[in-house]
Amino acid sequence: MDGIHRLLWKFWTHNLDKAMKTNHKLFYILAAVLLTLATSCVTGNDDNAVLREHEEAFAKTARVTDLKINGVAISRDSLSHWRYVMVDPGDVLTVSATLITGKGADEASLQVSEYLYSTSTPFGLSSDDDADYKLLESMSFGAGSEAVSLTITVPEQDADGEDFHSGDHINYAFWSWNDLQGYGYNDFSVEIK
């Protein structure tokens, strides 16, 4: 086996030396082109006016971040959707978050609402769905970022007055806006165990 390795090594180095001697200019040109392509892919042109405009507009938007339920951050699935928080009817949830009023904004408002859907119809399939909307909290804040904390009791019955069943969903929405007309939205859903 050792003899085969030595023979392959000799063949490889001999052919590499031969190729380098006859095609060294071509080799250097090819290496320069590959190096240029590799660095242009890495460094790229990051000066994108449209992207910069969107980033500046987003910075001015009021938004809710760092959403936690009972002190635990809500995770996302592989499609970037929030995972459902599993609850029992009557559970008390302590919700904490941070409201960012937006760059340059002097004040912002936040509304937290609850959406209960009838368990007898499919969840949220059309605009005609009868959802029971309930405003849970409405708050106003000054410039900067503010910690927000509220307590939510999971209802025991749906919009039709029927008891919840395992697999039913309740959505909690956070609507935020500021004096610069920057609007934000965040939400989470609970699933009945």
Cα 118 from chain centroid? 28
Look at residue 120 and tell me whether its pLDDT is greater than 60: no
- Output the pLDDT for position 167: 83
Q: Are residues 10 and 68 in the same domain?
A: no
Average pLDDT of the segment spanning 146-150: 91
Q: Are residues 14 and 96 in the same domain?
A: no
In a domain, 124, yes or no: yes
Q: What are phi and psi of 141, to 5 degrees?
A: -140, 160
- Output the pLDDT for position 181: 86
In a domain, 50, yes or no: no
- Output the pLDDT for position 52: 86
In a domain, 89, yes or no: yes
Question: Which CATH number goes with the domain that contains 157?
Answer: 2.60.40.3880
CB 177 within 8 A of CB 109: yes
Return d(Cα 46, Cα 37) in angstroms, integer. 16
Considering only residues 141 and 39, tell me which one the structure prediction assigns the higher pLDDT. Answer: 141
In a domain, 91, yes or no: yes
Lowest average pLDDT, out of 32-46, 48-62, 109-123, 124-138, goes to 32-46
Nearest 5°: CA angle at 161, between 160 and 162? 95
In a domain, 57, yes or no: no
* Token pair recorded at residue 53: 């405009």
Range of the domain at 30: 1-44
Q: pLDDT digits over 82-109, tens only?
A: 778 899 999 999 999 999 999 999 999 9
Look at residue 2 and tell me whether its pLDDT is greater than 70: no
CB 100 within 8 A of CB 63: yes
Q: Are residues 67 and 159 in the same domain?
A: yes
Average pLDDT of the segment spanning 54-82: 85
